Amino acid sequence: MFKGIKEDIAAYLERDPAAKSAWEVFFLYPGFKALRAHRKAHRHYEKGHYFRARLISELSRRKTGIEIHPGAVLGKGVIIDHGQGVVIGETAVVGDYCTIYQGVTLGGTGKDTGKRHPTLKNNVMVGAGARVLGPFTVGEYSKIAAGAVVLSEVPPHCTCVGVPARVVRLRGQRIDDLDQVHMPDPVAQELCELRMRVFALEKGQVARAGKGDTDAAV
């Protein structure tokens, strides 16, 4: 138990620039408190003590604003930064060293049975307000931008942006693990391509009009 606490605190100190000390994380961080309560609730859930597990989960939700179903599986080194409004469903699986920001939902679509919620592999980052919905896998080291809505499988080492989310290749550009702003924008890229095509068409029309005037003069 103490090893798990040390790993959780170390994860916050390593990946949260605002964390000043282990004592601050232990006593004041709602994400850390929610994780510790969940690990306790999950142990009861695995033993079949479902009411007791859910009671711990509900008390933690009221205290921290973070709702984690006791059936969810969370790996080591996970951090929930700020965390207000985070919801993690019953069959969700969160791998080691994942980072989850406020307002994130790891939920279901309402159409599935059994495994209904997503699986995040190791070292996944989910930006603020993102929605990951459905029983699919988000590959390791992938990043989901703030506000994205992910509805299908995400390969490893990819970045997802938009609604619904699209996978955008990094194209050799390094993106910091905690940077939720400087990510490729597929909408802007499409608009740029459209502008280039319109410019090419207008240029062609001008050229044809000029040729027509020359022919008429002759």
In the chain, where are the structural domains located?
2-184, 185-218
The per-residue pLDDT for 175 is 45
CATH code assigned to 2-184: 2.160.10.10
Q: How far apart are CA 206 and CA 212, in angstroms?
A: 10
State the pTM of this model.
0.75
Among 89, 172, 163, 168, CA closest to 130: 163
Per-residue pLDDT of the chain (218 residues; tens, 9 = 90+): 677 788 889 999 999 888 899 999 999 999 999 999 999 999 999 999 999 999 999 999 999 999 999 999 999 999 999 889 999 999 999 999 999 999 999 999 888 788 999 999 999 999 999 999 999 999 999 999 999 999 999 989 888 888 888 887 554 454 444 455 555 666 777 788 888 888 888 877 766 666 565 555 55
pLDDT at 110: 81
pLDDT of 41 reads: 96
